[in-house]
Chain A
Amino acid sequence: MKMTPTLTALGGGFRAEFQQLRRSRLLVVLTIAEAVTFLMLVSIFGLTGSHVPTAVVDRDGGKLARQWAQVMSATYQTYGVRYMDASSAEKALNLGDVAAVLYIPDGFSQHMAHHSMIRIHFRVDNVNADLTNEVELGIPPAARAFAVANHFPGIRVVSAETDLVPHEVGFIPYLVVSALALAAFVVAGTLAASAVAREFETGTLAYLKLSPAHPLIPLAGRLLATGAVSAAAVSVSALLVVVGYGVEPVHPAATAVGLLLCVVIFSCIGAGIGTVVQRALPLSALIFGLALTFYLDSGSLEPARFYGNRLWVIGHTSPAYYAVGILQYGVHGLRVTPETIPVSFAALICWALLAAGAAWLGLRRAVVT
């Protein structure tokens, strides 16, 4: 069959683009990673506030008490129930292994049978108001479902909350602090990547190679400049958090050092991406997409450990995890990671050194003949 000129041109364009993409394999891999990022995005949003790891301390031991806990986890999908004794539950709460401890009181079955009022006491890791509400709001529907299942005409359950953290942090103030880490990634990463990619794109890298100065030195100078601009941009964001949201850092020094480290790390990661991609145009979108992966699995919405062990372990591979931990501590005084703040700082410094080393090696390989 004879192809029309339109189809021939269409086929020609398709073939040429495909050939070019085949020769930009790294760009394609990074694009796929970006697509996967969005899967993670929706998955983690779905996890927010659901299946909160919750310890149940059954002080009653009766059949109805056990049934209550089962109904509770099945109806509202808020609780990932784990049965524990009181001391283990308290320990787990303090370590961050569980988000809340629900105590089923002694005499629960008896009270249920007589339809008298029952007080369910729970202790919650109130890192932000959103999570506390989720835990508390799960109790009434669980009670209703329990009553229906057992044909009780009416039961009266009252929840009594005790907070782990002395002060309450709103969900938005929690989020904006986490967002500072994302801002650092996007700004520092994009600027650094563009600075490096531009040298490849314009061909000026060859002149750097020919000069008596080591070519990596002027590039490092450029990265220092982009780092300074990024630090200024992140400082403006931090100032907005303080002034606009009325959030005053509890530990300003830790906050400032944490943000600075974020800028350094993400500048180095950006330089590495710029070396690999060597084109400035697709960088912003690429870095934004990749930043989401780092960000969402870093405890930016609530502590990452509440998403389940698998995601929590993955979160440890991201510098944003430690950055969010430090920033939440620096600004709100919260402990959102089981790791101590000095450990988080050490991890962040390791990340900075690793990223700087990788960027240096990548650039050296690309630059030095």
Chain B
Amino acid sequence: MTEQAELPGDAAQAGGVMPTAEPKSGTAELDGERRRRHASSGTASSVVRLAGISCRRGRRQALHRVSLEVQSARVTGVLGLNGAGKSTLLGVVAGLYRPFEGTVWVLGERLPSRGPELRRRIGVVLQETALYEDLTVTENLRLTAALYSLARPARRITEVLELIDLAERAGDMVASLSGGMRRRVTLARALLHQPELLIIDEPTLGIDAEARHAIWEHIRLLRARGTTVIAASNYLDEVQALCDTAAVLHEGRLVANETPASLVAQAGQCLDLDCAADAAAGITDLVLNLPGVTRAEVSSGGLTVFLREDADTDEIVREVLQRAHITGFRVRAADLAEVFGVLDPVRKETA
């Protein structure tokens, strides 16, 4: 008998009931102006409220009655595998896509917004870099400044480029920049008009570790300055490193909305045992009866054992070694797919 993780009740099934996401990690300081703005929006500290939204992308229904609340001056991660509906969710909040069901409130305004004012308060970094490659970094930003009618564009462009450490490459053609730098230019573009809400789809998609950490630093800095950030990601470690809360999407449904630490705790650790398939099958029952083991799955390389955080891995390995021939083992944190194994209600029922 395996132990099963409990779904966070308020987030599991939307059904028109608004979940209240209470982040369990620390909050950043808001500057006075932002506090006043948020207070005047009439939504207290929630910057985004989605109530039972469903949305189609082409023929496919990408979101199924998702309800979510994003708190002010925090980084909210939207976590999910490819095709989970993360980009659609972000697109709905940004105003790119219109849901066919449910309501969306962003910065106190119900979508679809009638005027351009709301767009001035939102910055968006889409998954596609989408820059004008034959323009320089500054020229790209100058166009954005014109679109947002910024009063002192040159000064603001300099500020933003310094913020994201791209001042030295300001005059370079975008075509000559690396993937990581381009990603930072898109971030600069989104920050140019000093948005209250920043929406980032896959902030570190396809870039190296160094650039990844640089972008994380920028996002942390923004959070510290009081900007609310919603970031979609494929990576559990990214969400752990950046986010105060994580909304987990699976096949268009919200399956969890809690702190990243809580998610990881639910998934626990994994113990990979390298052995032959028949040996793995032979020890599965034994392993499942050991204390601290929640699940076990036979894989091509042996057996993956899911453990609670307090499980004694040494003891488990000792027990297994007495009964079967294993060629190796390793203990690691659960990855995103394994977290879904815990969160997905259908799998939980059949586990």
Using a CB–CB cutoff of 8 Å, the interface residues on chain A facing chain B are: 202-204, 206-214, 218, 369
Contact = CB atoms under 8 A, between A and B. Distances in A.
A207 B187 CA distance: 12
A210 B96 contact: yes
A213 B115 CA distance: 10
* Majority secondary structure of chain A interface residues (helix, strand, loop or mixed): helix
A284 to B, nearest CB: 17
B228 to A, nearest CB: 17
Given A202-B132, A213-B147, A369-B96, A207 B126 contact: yes
Contacts, number: 52
Contacts of B130: 202-204, 206-207
Interface of B: 94-98, 116-117, 119-120, 122, 124, 126, 128-133, 143-144, 146-149, 189
B116 A204 contact: no
Contact of B98 (A203, A208, A209, A369): A369
A202 B96 CA distance: 17
B316 to A, nearest CB: 49
Nearest to A221: B146
Centre residue among A202, A206, A209, A212 by max chain B CB count within 10 A: A212
Centre residue among A203, A204, A211 by max chain B CB count within 10 A: A211
Contacts of A212: 116-117, 119-120, 147-149
A202 B97 contact: no
Contact of B147 (A203, A206, A211, A369): A211
Contacts of A209: 96
Given A202-B132, A202-B133, A206-B128, A211 B95 contact: no
A213 B128 contact: no
A206 B126 contact: yes
Contacts of B147: 208, 211-213, 218
B158 to A, nearest CB: 21
A199 to B, nearest CB: 9
Contacts of A211: 119, 144, 147-148
Given A203-B126, A208-B147, 10 more contacts: A202-B131, A202-B133, A210-B94, A210-B119, A212-B148, A213-B116, A213-B147, A218-B146, A369-B96, A369-B98
Contacts of B94: 210
A210 B131 contact: no
A301 to B, nearest CB: 39
A204 B133 CA distance: 11
A184 to B, nearest CB: 25
Nearest to B97: A369
Contact of B189 (A202, A207, A218, A369): A207
Given A210-B96, A212-B147, A212-B149, A204 B117 contact: no
30 contacts: A202-B130, A202-B131, A202-B133, A203-B126, A203-B130, A204-B130, A206-B126, A207-B124, A207-B130, A207-B144, A208-B147, A209-B96, A210-B95, A210-B122, A210-B124, A211-B147, A212-B116, A212-B117, A212-B119, A212-B120, A212-B147, A212-B148, A213-B116, A213-B147, A213-B148, A214-B116, A218-B143, A218-B146, A369-B95, A369-B97
A286 to B, nearest CB: 22
A192 to B, nearest CB: 17
B143 A203 contact: no
Nearest to B134: A198
A204 B144 CA distance: 11
A206 B120 contact: no
A218 B149 CA distance: 12
B75 to A, nearest CB: 20
A351 B177 CA distance: 44
Nearest to B128: A203
A335 B146 CA distance: 48
A344 B321 CA distance: 95
Nearest to B94: A210
A368 to B, nearest CB: 11
Contacts of B131: 202, 204
Nearest to B189: A207
A206 B146 CA distance: 16
A214 B122 CA distance: 15
Contacts of A213: 116, 146-149
Nearest 4 pairs of A and B residues by beta carbon: A212-B116, A203-B130, A211-B147, A203-B128
Nearest to A206: B126
A204 B126 CA distance: 10
A204 B132 contact: yes
Contacts of B98: 369
Contacts of B122: 210
A204 B143 CA distance: 11
A113 to B, nearest CB: 80
Contacts of B124: 207, 210
A369 B55 CA distance: 13
Nearest to A204: B130
A110 to B, nearest CB: 80
Nearest to A205: B130
A232 to B, nearest CB: 20
Nearest to A217: B147
Contacts of A218: 143, 146-147
Contacts of A210: 94-96, 119, 122, 124
